[in-house]
Amino acid sequence: MILRNVNILGDKEPANILVSNGYVTAVTRDDVTEKAGELIICLENALAVPGLINSHDHLDFNLFPPLGGDRCYTSYTEWGRHLHASFKKEIASVLKIPALLRYQWGVYKNLLCGVTTVINHGEKTGLKTDLITIYEDSHCLHSVRFEKNWKLKLNNPARRKKIVNIHIGEGTDASSSAEIDTFIRLNLLKRKLVGVHAVAMTEEQARAFEALVWCPASNFFLLNKTAQVDLLQSQTALLFGTDSTLTGDWNIWRHLQSARNTALLDDETLFTAVNLTAASVWGLNTGSITAGKDADLLIVKNKTGGYGFDEFFSICPEDILLVIHKGRINLFDESLLPQLECERLDNFSRVFFGDCCKYIKGDLPALIDNIRQYKPDVKLPIAVNEAVRYKKGARNKFTT
């Protein structure tokens, strides 16, 4: 595949990106000639960025609306108690949807925004999908106060090589700070730790962590406060996560925009938190548009003609022209249909954000129908009533 005439973020001269066997093979300004049968996509006013890495989500919790936002809490335990006491019916109505369907929607929630890798927290999904990479190789512990036998699990020698991935210091009270000290002290095997949230964390405590996943939207929702990432960044690597829709918007771009508005991190640090830094911490061959890396790419409309961080942080899902995961196109804007009609599109569906139409791999309308059988009033960000499925047997013909 050749993507012609696209600006890579930070570079004012457009380039051609060559993709083969799932990898980026070259990024060049030279003229390139295609091989026989090779797909060429000619772009105009387009910007290429690495597919996003969302370092914290619960794929099975993204059919929940935000719950408990009517007040402010001192810790995740207080929020948890309030949730189970006040939203029993709402929680049961979502958990009634089979986990597989909830996981599948969680994948689409991320893909619709151009996320190509998600670090799922919790039980392994068991999902086989080539829509995005679901990273499930870390050792997830929920939290010091909600994970039973966490001391034994943390110090299990059989798992010592796995990164420990835990919610930590998610609160503003003394016990949220104290739990961080306890956790660090009892990491007897000195395992690599990735902490999520870290609102109560000090610079001293941050030194014990390989990385922290900053989820500011979730923090502000629960605690009206976020981690002191401006200070913590000198002690550890910073990654970025959305958490689930229980505590925030479905759209990671809104999370990134509000994170930028805090001015706690410079643009470069926030940008690399969703690509290069995350790839390095999780050990993934992705996160930059460089020869030899996995071809996880996001191509978006360039609305202003610029090619810097202002353009990156103003992206919204409607702007996305292409999401490519390991060299395969999994989402494209309808404006590219004429160039892609030579491809097999019979496993794509059409979905709409208002008037804006995207083609997405898989039968998303059927998944939504399926979910609605369990929860008819579920709220989703795409207009599913207008969603269109391919007509079986009629290649590339879509029908309502």
Closer residue to Zn ion in complex, CB, 56/350? 56
Name which of residues 241 to 280 contact Zn ion (CB under 5 A). 243
Of 21, 22, 25, 28, nearest to 6 (Cα)?
28
Closer residue to Zn ion in complex, CB, 59/336? 59
# binding residues, Zn ion (CB under 5 A): 1
State the nearest-atom distance from the C-beta of 28 to Zn ion, in Å.
41
Of 228, 272, 315, 295, nearest to 55 (Cα)?
272
CA distance 168 to 206: 11
Using only the alpha carbons of the chain, give its radius of gyration.
Answer: 21
Closer residue to Zn ion in complex, CB, 16/117? 117
State the nearest-atom distance from the C-beta of 38 to Zn ion, in Å.
42
Distances (CA, A) of 128 to 21, 30, 131, 185: 20, 38, 9, 37
Closer residue to Zn ion in complex, CB, 121/350? 121
The residue type at 291: A
State the nearest-atom distance from the C-beta of 78 to Zn ion, in Å.
16
The residue type at 353: F
Closer residue to Zn ion in complex, CB, 243/294? 243
Binding mask 225-244 for Zn ion (x = CB under 5 A): ------------------x-
CA 56 to chain centre: 7
CA distance 219 to 56: 13
State the nearest-atom distance from the C-beta of 256 to Zn ion, in Å.
17
Distances (CA, A) of 31 to 24, 40, 190, 336: 17, 13, 51, 22
State the nearest-atom distance from the C-beta of 193 to Zn ion, in Å.
16
Is 57 a binder of Zn ion (CB under 5 A)?
Answer: no
State the nearest-atom distance from the C-beta of 299 to Zn ion, in Å.
30
State the nearest-atom distance from the C-beta of 104 to Zn ion, in Å.
19
CA distance 270 to 216: 12
Four-CA torsion 144, 150, 155, 156, nearest 10 degrees: -150
Closer residue to Zn ion in complex, CB, 243/311? 243
Closer residue to Zn ion in complex, CB, 24/281? 281
Closer residue to Zn ion in complex, CB, 120/302? 120
By Cβ distance, which residue is nearest to Zn ion?
A: 243
Residue 331 parent element (H or E): strand 328-333
CA distance 110 to 131: 10
State the nearest-atom distance from the C-beta of 158 to Zn ion, in Å.
25
Q: Which residues of 213-251 are buried (b: 16+ CB within 10 A; e: fewer)?
A: bbbbbbbbbbbeebbbbeebbebbbbbbbbbbbbbbbbb
Closer residue to Zn ion in complex, CB, 136/243? 243
State the nearest-atom distance from the C-beta of 56 to Zn ion, in Å.
6
Q: Which residues of the chain form contacts with Zn ion (CB under 5 A)?
A: 243
